[in-house]
Structures are given as structure tokens and as C-alpha cells.
Structure 1
Amino acid sequence: MSDDRDRSSLAVPPSAQDHRQGALSAAAVLVMYGDYESPQSAKVYRLIKAVQYQLRNSFGAPDLCFIFRHFPQTQIHPQAQHAAEAAEAAAAQGLFWPMHESLFIHQQSLGNGFLVEYANDLGLDISRFLQDISKQTYADRVNDDIASGHQSGVVTEPALFINGIRYRDRWNILQLMAAIANSSP
């Protein structure tokens, strides 16, 4: 029997419950497991944004769906779980992607006061946001993402899957764009 780390396919398929940019029916579906406190996750997220930009400029509306799933590494990033829950609290108010962006931009400042500041900057209902954070309302959602990562053999972040297959090549724009292009039917 092989070790889960050897798995190369996505165990939990993309669904409408995922945070996504683009249609699930896109020719290429890119799933990222990431951690808001991780410099490497931030770097890969910026790479994905660059790929999206390139595809949009080259082809107009790219046939790419980007999905982000939480994979906080709490043993080395103590504020990552809390930041992921803050992203989910923002999602409950329809602002996942703006909060997601803020968390990666300010990943060195993820304490409670900063999270409230980011929520306020986005115009979230602060009372509701604070209640969701203090009650850990979205901890199960974050933990479900972590579990789906483990089922797919993810042991550290960032981890990418393109059309359900683990991406293990170089982390640069040319390699990633080629992998996306080659994954399309």
C-alpha cells in the first residue's frame, strides 16, 4: 500500500461549495491548498494571479476556474487557522475574495485587531464578523478543507491540482501556464 503523500489526484472534486473564480465547467480547474501565514502560499497565489492575468490578456475570457481551499499549518503558522476562519466569516457576508487578498497582502499582521481592521476596510458588518470569529463559527469549514487535502495526499502547503491531478513541476509562470494548457481537453 502506498503512502498518502504519493497520491497524485484530488480526492474531493471541485464543487459549488468551493471558493472559486470562474466556472466549474471551465476547461482547466486549478485547486490550491494554501495557508495565509505562509510566504510560499502567498508567492504561489501571486503566481496564479499572474497566470490569470496572462490568460485574460492573451485569450480574453480565460477558460480557467481557480479554487482556493484552506490548509493552515498551525504548527508553524499559529495565526493561519484564525485567518482562514476570518476569510470564511467574510465569505458569509459575500466578500471572501477581497478578504483573501487582504490576508495574503498583510500576512505578517494576522492578529485579531488587524483582522477586524481588514473587515472594517471591506465594509463588513463588524458585529457579525466578531461574533463569527469569537464563536469559531467556520472552524468546521476550514477543517473540512484540511481533511480534503489530507485525503489527496497534501501534507504541506502550497499544493496545486490541475483538473484533479497534482501539479509537481516548477513554480513559475511558464511551467504553470503550460501545465494548464496541456490539461485542457
Structure 2
Amino acid sequence: MSLKPSVNTNDHAQGNLNSDLVIVEYGDYQCPYCGAAYPVLKELMKEFGSQVKFVFRNFPLSEMHQYAKAAAIAAEAANLQGKFWEMHDAIYENQQNLNELYLFELAEHVGLNINQFKEDIQKAELAEKVDSDFESGVMSGVNGTPSFFINGNKFNGNAEDLLELLRENTKN
């Protein structure tokens, strides 16, 4: 399966934004497998951040994870204050404490303006962004989280496999 739509300006990206190597993760903030992948992906970015453009798209499995969508919206709200990745990281690093109230603590922790954050999480366009990420995942053949794409092609493996692949391919 290939990635639809391809990576664009609506996406959250970090690393080398001009890299030819683009990795996309579809993730759910409450998913334990995404939580386990998070430190591996941090390691991957530490080693290969100068060579990789890493993109995160929301894929909250709301039926299984009651706070996944609220967390995704919270990260999108943080993005409006230029702190998407800080919030993304804070949520994954405190995943076991996740609930709607705790998201406000994390927002404070990453230095967001709380009054603005409270207003922003109500905005329909943030929920729409999360929904459109989710729909793009469905169209791209995502059936669980985390799911990874390398340069637009679905990668059949987990975060460890991804890191291993990069290590193998950069030895030369």
C-alpha cells in the first residue's frame, strides 16, 4: 500500500526537512505499542535525524483508547503555539497517566499558554485535522498502530526493524 496523500505542508515533520528519506508514523497516543515504539524512534532520530524527515500522523483508535483522540487534539492545539513535538513527546513519556485532565498538566509542563490552549482544543478544525489524518491512514492501508511508511511505501515491521534497516543501510 502507498501513502495517500503524500507528505505535505499540513504534516508535522522533524529532522532534516529536505531529506530524500521520509518516514511517516501513524500513531495513537494511548496505544501501548506506540508507547513502546516512542523511545526507539527517539533513538532513530538521535542517530539519523540529519538524514531523515520524520512525520507523525494521527491515527487514534478511539473505540479502544478513550483518550487517544483528546490527546491528538491536544497535540494539535500545542502546534498552534509552536510546540507540537514537545507535546507529542510529553504525552508519550507520560502515557500511563493519560486522561483529559492530565493533558492540561502536560500543556503547562511544555510551557503552553493555558487559556489559549483551552480555547484551541475546542476548535473544530483541530478535530478535522485529526480526522483527516485518520482517513488518510485508512486510505493508505493502515490497520493498526504504529504503522510506518518509508518514502510513501508501507513498511511491514516495527520501530526496531526500522532502526535496524537504517543502521544496515548507512553502514556503506
- For the criterion TM > 0.5, the same-fold answer is yes
User: Residues 170 and 100 of structure 1: is their aligned pair in 2 closer, same or farther, counting only changes over 3 Å?
Assistant: closer
Q: Deviations over 1:59-105 (max 9, x none)?
A: xxx21000000000011101100000000000000000000001001
Partner of 2:134: 146
Q: Which of 32, 35, 44 does residue 42 from structure 1 map onto? A: 35
Moved over 3 A (4+): 134-137, 177-183
Contact 1:89 1:133 in 2 (8 A): yes
Shift of 1:27: 2.5
Shift of 1:21: 0.5
Q: Which of 28, 38, 53 does residue 46 from structure 2 map onto? A: 53
Shift of 1:134: 3.6
SS at match of 1:108: helix
Contact 1:12 1:148 in 2 (8 A): yes
Shift of 1:135: 4.4
Farther off after superposition, 69-78 or 101-110: 101-110
Contact 1:29 1:64 in 2 (8 A): yes
Q: Which of 65, 70, 75 does residue 82 from structure 1 map onto? A: 70
Partner of 1:20: 13
Shift of 1:171: 4.1
Could you state the TM-score of these two structures normalised by the residue count of structure 1? Answer: 0.84
SS at match of 1:20: strand
SS at match of 1:142: helix
Shift of 1:125: 1.2
Partner of 2:55: 67
Q: Which runs of 5+ in 2 are unaligned?
A: none
Partner of 2:114: 126
Whichever residue aligns with residue 2 of structure 2, its letter is: S
Matches within 5 A, 1:6-17: 8-17=1-10
Contact 1:29 1:67 in 2 (8 A): yes
Output the CA distance in 2 between the equivalents of 1:127 and 1:112: 16
Q: Alpha carbon RMSD of aligned pairs, Å?
A: 1.9
